[in-house]
Amino acid sequence: FGLKKGSAYHWDFFVVGIQIFITGMLGIPPVNGLIPQAPLHTDSLCIKEFRTDESGKKTEHIIGCHEQRVSNLSQALLIGLTLTYVKGIGYLPIAALDGLFLYM
């Protein structure tokens, strides 16, 4: 992806894996339940250029990538806010929550 610190990309996967293990043992929502989002998010932040070669075939070249942590921080904060609703969610029937997650 043309990142300045490419090894940090793989380090993120390792840290998320450890966090998912810990949150699973504690029974709280995972930090990032869908690991495939990370490459898709990185791909969406890339600056791309499309070039056409002599045969007319278009190729995609990544020029650079906007590095930011705002979306990950906001996701973590929103998950942290769910802890304030734990008592209220406890009053809901389990079947209603199961139906909600099956619908999603």
Query: What is the per-residue pLDDT across 34-52, written as a single tens digit (0 to 9) for each?
Result: 555 667 777 888 889 999 9
Q: Name the nearest CA neighbour of 62 among 71, 49, 74.
A: 49
Say if residue 50 is in the same domain as residue 20: yes
Say if residue 64 is in the same domain as residue 80: no
pLDDT (average), residues 47-68: 87
Say if residue 75 is in the same domain as residue 60: no
What's the whole-model pTM score? 0.39
Number of domains in the chain: 2
Say if residue 83 is in the same domain as residue 32: no
Say if residue 62 is in the same domain as residue 17: yes
Say if residue 17 is in the same domain as residue 38: yes
Domain holding 21, by residue range, is: 1-68
Transcribe 64-83 into DSSP letters: EE----HHHHHHHHHHHHGG
Say if residue 63 is in the same domain as residue 100: no
Tokens matching residue 30: 């995972």
Say if residue 62 is in the same domain as residue 97: no
